[in-house]
Each structure stands twice: as C-alpha cells, then as structure tokens.
Chain A
Amino acid sequence: MDEIVKVVRDYVTREYLEEGDEREITETTPLISGGIVDSFSMVSLLRFLEKKYSIHIPDAAATPDAFDTVQSIAALVRRFQKAEV
C-alpha cells in the first residue's frame, strides 16, 4: 500500500472513529459525505498533513470533496508535495 495512503488511513482511524466503532476505513470510504469527518473536526487532519509532509494546503484546496476519501486526501498531499519542490 502507498505510504501516504497508509499514514492518512491510520490517522483518520485513530482521530475520528469512536471507541467501539468497528467500521473499517478503506481508501474509498466516504469520510465527509459518510458523516465520519465534518468541517469542524477536519481542521486537525489538515494540520496533521501540513506538519507531517511539510506542505501548505490553502483553504481553497481544502474542500469537502478533496477530503472525502483517504484516496483523495493522499492525492491532495502529493499535489502539494510537488508544488513545494
């Protein structure tokens, strides 16, 4: 599995699933439209990504669509990693 996907998936599982929540987060599990992450709690994920990968994700790019799956989040990280190079 892609390293970024793994890191994001692990963080989402740890940060957002309540104790006893047995749902499995896959690459395509809908996070925002699925009610797992909301715009209020999304901020910590954004900050985690920026810190972990030393990137800056502007507010305009941090859309609910871009944050809706582990896959799309990983794509967003890659996009801004390239931009930082």
Chain B
Amino acid sequence: MAFTDTVRNGYQTEIEGIKAAGLFKGERYIHSPQGSEIEVEFPVGSEIKKCINMCANNYLGLSSHPDVIAAAHAGLDSRGYGMSSVRFICGTQDIHRELENRLTGFLGTEDTLLFPSCMDANGGFFEACLNEQDVMIADRLVHASIVDGMRLCKAMQDTFKHSDMGHLEEKLQEHQDKRYRMIITDGVFSMDGDTAKLDQIVSLAEKYKAMVFLDDSHATGFIGRTGRGTHEHCGVLGKIDVITTTLGKALGGASGGCVSGRRELVEMCRQRARPFLFSNSVAPVIVAGALKVMDLITISTDRRDKLEWNTKYWRGLLKEAGFDVKEGDSPIVPVMLYDAKLAQDFAHGLFDEGVYAVGFFFPVVPKGQARIRTQLSAAHEKHHLDTAIKAFKKVGEQHGILGLGKKELVAKYAS
C-alpha cells in the first residue's frame, strides 16, 4: 500500500495528539563524550551550551574512561568491527564467552549469556523459560522491558503492590497450584531509586517454592559493598535464580545486556530466547571495552566508593536547601515536585543555569508524583555538585518552593 495522504494525515494527527497531551519527547544533541560535563545543543539549532550532567546512567564514570577507550581501540584492531552473523552461526568470538565468564564470576551466578541489550534479555527470557503451566508475579514498578517480556510469555501474569511483601505472599499462596512460580523485581527501581527488599523476597521464594528474577541494571557495578549488586547489598548472593543486567549503564554505558543465573535457565535462553537467536550479539569493540570495565571494577572499589560519597553529599545538599527528596541510598535521587508543569519548568530553569536534569511526570511516574530525577556519577567532583546545588536553589527560589513539603507543594499547585 502506498503511503497516501490519508495515511500520512492519520499519523500526523496521532503525533499532534502526543504533543497536545504533553508527552512528546524531543532529543537534545550532545556534542561531547559522555561525562560529568557535556556540551548540549538544545533546542536544535541553538548555540552549544556546556552543562553539568545530572541525568546519565554513567554511575561509575566509565563511559569515557581512557583505559576503556584504549581497550575498545585494541579490540577494534584485533577483532574487527562487526560479526555479520547471529551468535549460533558465526557470530561468537572467544571474547564474547570470556566476557560471559567474567560476568558470571562477578555476579556470583552459574552461567551468563550476552544479549544485544537488557531490553532484549528481559524481552526474551520469560517466553524461553516459562509456559502456560507457570505464573509470573511481578512488582508493579518493574521496568517496561519486563512488562513487554511478560506479555510475550504464555505463563499467567500477576503483580504485587510495589515492595509490599504481604501482598506478594498473598499472591504466592494463591498460585500454589502452578508448576513454577517466578517472583520478578528490579533491584534498584529506576524512577524512585529505592531498593528491592531482596532478602525478604528470597525468604518468601524459599517458603513458597518460587524462583526469583532480578533486573539489576541500576545496581550492577556499584550497589553492595563490592558493587556486585542488590543481591550483595541484601546478603543473598548466590540465591537469585536469574539476574538480568546491562552494559549500557555503569559498565561502560555503550550497549548490551545479559541473562545470568542458573545454568539450565541460561541454556534455555541460548536455545530459545528470540532476541538472542535472531539478532547479532554485542559488537567486538564493545566486548573489548566491557572486559576492561570488568578489570577496573574488580581490582578496586574506589569508583563505587566515590559514587557512594557523592550520593550522600548530594542528598545532604538537596535536603539542606529545602527540597523534598525521596528517601533511599542509591545514586538515583528524585527531587519531588508533584506537579507535571512545575517539573517541566524546573528542568528548563536548571538548563538555563547550566545543569542538565530531566523532569518526569505521568504516565512515566504515577499521577501527582512529578519529579526531577537526578543521578550521581563517580565522574562528578565535589565542585560539580556545589555548582549544581546553586542552580537548584536559584530555580527553587524562583518558584518559591524551598522548604515546602508534599502537602504544601500539592496545595500550591492545586489550582
């Protein structure tokens, strides 16, 4: 069928609808490598502006680390640019398997399989490992890729209220007639920055004979004493049946993800997970960079420790300035504003002051929960945070919101 005017108009109307609903997402062009300071062109065509970046998933500051870049260069020279094949034909290099083994050791699991992304790992895992005899019970705030993966799977779907262990237990009792039960959670929740109660989840899993699935994308490399992730933080290393995680955040930030866990589950993914089977794996150059990342995070916890210090310092600065900050100890620090328009205006105000942070509002977060999500990095120096807080204070004063709690903020913008 031709792309007729009627078809074009139909799509244009839909796009206008997205804009009218305030949900249109524009891109901002970055003219520099990723880092604590970036050069941003926004809006498109405007002069490039240098900003402090407070919204990257570059938790360990490794996205542009010279050793990682050098390793990637060397990998490019020794293993080439692309594989031009999926893994099971002629797309697996020795370094793919080497990286999988390194991840297995780091995460404390039995085996690992790389995927093109963690989105793909989550998209492919459930269909490969569960069927109509089984049930998936997910925390209601899990990442969208898990929701998509669950929808592709024939197993029964159920959900429990966010981090509500009583509700999870009710669901586990309800589904005792199923062949397999799988509890599904994120480790660190991306919008709130809070951490799953993984020790309690594991206890319930043992009591009700369920497997545990953990997406630790916002934790691998820096949560826990040696950065293994939420399972280390909660004292349940070795007790998680499946961990999915990403190379696209703390671990160099390029792309790629993995399924890591029980040997048989990983093998099922190797045999049946469609995003693994029908797509090229992570490019050699990224594998080479990621291997260097594994070296860096294994030999020292300095970067993870610095991130922890930055997180505490930044939380303290925000609270001292009078912002309403969501509690937690992860480097995701949401500044609660509750009102969608205020969140957008606040983000624009910050950008004018040279700080890049993004406002989130419904449907990305629940209605009435609008916020600025700030994210810390080991690449931030104290002076970056001292400068950023000045911008936050200035914009906060302009809006008259410093020192206001939830009730006052909601009341102020209610009309």
List A residues at the B interface (Cβ < 8 Å): 16, 18-19, 34-35, 38, 40-41, 43-44, 47
Contact = CB atoms under 8 A, between A and B. Distances in A.
B162 interface: yes
A39 B366 CA distance: 13
8 contacts: A18-B161, A18-B162, A18-B164, A34-B367, A38-B140, A43-B157, A43-B158, A47-B158
A40 B145 CA distance: 12
A57 to B, nearest CB: 15
A36 to B, nearest CB: 9
B164 A19 contact: yes
Interface of B: 138, 140, 147, 156-159, 161-162, 164, 362-363, 366-368
A35 B367 contact: yes
Given A18-B164, A35-B362, A41 B367 contact: no
Contacts of A41: 140, 159
Nearest to A18: B161
A58 to B, nearest CB: 17
A44 B159 contact: yes
Contacts of B162: 18
Of all A-B residue pairs in the complex, the 6 with the closest CB atoms, nearest first, are A35-B367, A41-B159, A43-B157, A40-B147, A35-B366, A41-B140
A40 B158 contact: no
Contacts of A16: 161
A24 B363 CA distance: 21
B366 A43 contact: no
Nearest to A17: B161
B182 to A, nearest CB: 15
Contacts of B366: 35
A16 B161 CA distance: 7
A24 B161 CA distance: 18
B363 A35 contact: yes
Nearest to B365: A35
- Residue of A19, A34, A40, A43 contacting most chain B CB atoms (<10 Å): A40
- Looking at A19, A34, A41, A47, the one whose CB has the most chain B CB atoms below 10 A away is A41
B214 to A, nearest CB: 18
A19 B166 CA distance: 11
Nearest to B162: A18
A43 B363 CA distance: 19
A47 B159 CA distance: 12
A34 B362 CA distance: 10
A18 B140 CA distance: 11
Contacts of A18: 161-162, 164
A40 B140 contact: yes
A40 B164 CA distance: 17
B155 to A, nearest CB: 12
Contacts of B147: 40
A43 B368 CA distance: 24
Nearest to B369: A35
A18 B394 CA distance: 35
Contacts of A44: 158-159
Contacts of B161: 16, 18-19
A20 to B, nearest CB: 11
A79 B245 CA distance: 45
Contacts of A43: 157-159
Contacts of A47: 156, 158
A44 B171 CA distance: 10
Contacts of B159: 40-41, 43-44
Nearest to A44: B158
Contacts of B367: 34-35
A18 B238 CA distance: 31
Contacts of A38: 140
A78 to B, nearest CB: 25
A41 B158 CA distance: 7
Given A18-B161, A19-B164, A41-B140, 8 more contacts: A18-B164, A35-B366, A35-B367, A35-B368, A40-B138, A40-B157, A44-B158, A47-B156
A16 B140 CA distance: 10
Nearest to B368: A35
A40 B157 CA distance: 9
A47 B137 CA distance: 14
A16 B363 CA distance: 17
A44 B164 CA distance: 16
